[in-house]
């Protein structure tokens, strides 16, 4: 079991800890409802140092990334970032990730904790014909996500950069909380606004204390991974292992917008075919019409009790005060407004397909 550099801090704060992505991680502190609403309405800080970070550098870095990533990396400029996935040879998804460009020959890839070794091996395999410079800095990199509508205002006092000038999916490297060379990014996973900060693990305590002090007057709270999951689910964001995996079509998963086959990436022809011909199933969002909470693995039915799909993620939405979920259904049942049923225990509970995200934020 691995521990992040903030493990002792979480323990002192009384966090409920559990294994996630191979690490002992804080699941909750005060409770999911309170932590979730703190981020939606105010400000919270997540330890997400379990994520993986890879440097890709050199004159062949762009060519490698164009081949292994789904999006068009050539569209990036220094200071910008891009959501991507790594397609496999069969048109499935190795992982989803964010690519940051530092300069024309230097990129940072941020991958999911549970896939660090798999992703690294995948990239190494395909780098044989590109010979780009690669470095896995996951163990040396700490990562905090400071999220919520008050995050930018609260953190400005400890940042040398003008945080309010950072547009969505941007980044800058500056002094933050008295620590040099901190990368500050606006690539959050909650939909609530804010920043993520990447820095050396040896500076963990200093940065944490600086963040909590700067956020004290704004009511900052530490937030666990349980609330992180309910926040991303309200936004309809995919979670690897739930909505996407090695056997999932990214087109079915609604990732057409980051699928650019003309770049010639791995399995581009297969995914181009899926785009042109359509897919048999699609990922949908749905709201429960009565009482009930959908969970991953629950079966979805039509009005005649025919099986039409399955739930991939589900929860009680603290913002909407009702059950919500994501799931795959036969394409014919995927339009917003369509009625379906979720089997919750022994009961078929009515639900309605909705357009994502579940929560509309200004």
Residues in the chain: 362
Indicate if the pLDDT at residue 361 is higher than 90.
no
Buried b (16+ CB within 10 A) or exposed e, 108-126: bbbbbbbbbebbbebbeee
In 3D, which of 88, 33, 27, 54 has the Cα closest to residue 240? 88
In three-state secondary structure terms, 17 is strand
Residue 10, pLDDT above cutoff 90: yes
- What are the pLDDT digits (tens) for 108-133? 999 999 999 999 999 999 999 999 99
Helices 61-68, 116-127: axis angle to 10 degrees equals: 120
CATH class of domain segment(s) 2-50+139-234: alpha beta
Report pLDDT for 262: 97
CATH of 280-354, one of 2.40.30.110, 3.40.190.290, 2.40.50.100, 3.40.190.10: 2.40.30.110
Token readout for 231 is 């926040």
Could you state, in order of their start, the residue ranges of all structural domains in the chain?
2-50+139-234, 280-354
Backbone angles phi, psi at 154, to 5 degrees: -70, -40
Token pair recorded at residue 154? 């609260």
Predicted confidence band at 261 (pLDDT cuts at 50, 70, 90)? very high
CA angle 321, 339, 239 (to 5 degrees): 60
302: closest CA among 329, 336, 337, 322? Answer: 329
For all residues of the chain together, what is the average pLDDT?
97
CA distance 185 to 121: 26
**Contacts of the segment 303-312: beta carbons below 8 A, 24+ positions apart:** 303/339, 303/340, 303/341, 305/341, 305/348, 308/333, 308/340, 309/281, 309/284, 309/333, 309/340, 311/342, 312/242, 312/243, 312/283
* CA atoms within 13 A of residue 203's CA, in its CB half-sphere: 19
pLDDT at 362 over 80: no
- pTM: predicted TM-score of the whole model, two decimal places: 0.97
């Amino acid at each position: 079991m691995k521990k992040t550099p903030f493990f002792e801090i979480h323990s002192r704060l009384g966090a409920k800890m559990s294994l996630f992505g191979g690490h002992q991680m804080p699941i909750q502190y005060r409770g999911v409802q309170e932590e979730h609403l703190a981020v939606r309405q105010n400000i919270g800080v997540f330890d997400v140092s379990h994520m993986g970070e890879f440097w890709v550098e050199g004159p062949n870095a762009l060519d490698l990334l164009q081949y292994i990533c789904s999006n068009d990396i050539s569209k990036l400029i220094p200071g910008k970032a891009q959501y991507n996935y790594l397609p496999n040879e069969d048109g499935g998804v190795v992982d989803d990730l964010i690519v940051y460009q530092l300069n024309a020959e230097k990129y940072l890839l941020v991958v999911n904790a549970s896939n660090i070794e798999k992703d690294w091996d995948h990239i190494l395999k395909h780098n044989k014909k590109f010979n780009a410079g690669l470095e896995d800095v996951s163990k040396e990199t700490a990562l905090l996500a400071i999220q919520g509508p008050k995050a930018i205002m609260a953190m400005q006092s400890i940042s040398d950069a003008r945080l309010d000038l950072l547009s969505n999916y941007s980044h800058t490297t500056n002094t933050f909380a008295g620590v040099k060379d901190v990368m500050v990014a606006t690539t959050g996973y909650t939909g609530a606004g804010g920043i993520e900060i990447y820095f050396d693990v040896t500076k963990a305590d200093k940065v944490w204390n600086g963040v909590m002090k700067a956020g004290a007057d704004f009511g900052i709270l530490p937030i666990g991974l349980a609330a992180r999951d309910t926040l991303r689910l309200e936004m309809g964001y995919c979670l690897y292992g739930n909505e996407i995996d090695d056997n999932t079509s990214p087109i079915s998963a609604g990732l057409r917008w980051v699928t650019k086959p003309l770049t010639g990436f791995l399995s581009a022809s297969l995914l181009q075919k899926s785009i042109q011909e359509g897919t048999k199933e699609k990922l949908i969002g749905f709201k429960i019409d009565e009482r009930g909470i959908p969970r991953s693995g629950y079966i979805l039915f039509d009005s005649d009790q025919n099986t039409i799909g399955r739930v991939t993620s589900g929860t009680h939405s603290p913002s909407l005060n009702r059950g919500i979920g994501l799931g795959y259904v036969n394409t014919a049942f995927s339009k917003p407004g369509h009625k379906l049923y979720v089997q919750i225990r022994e009961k078929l509970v009515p639900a309605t397909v909705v357009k994502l995200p579940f929560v509309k934020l200004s």
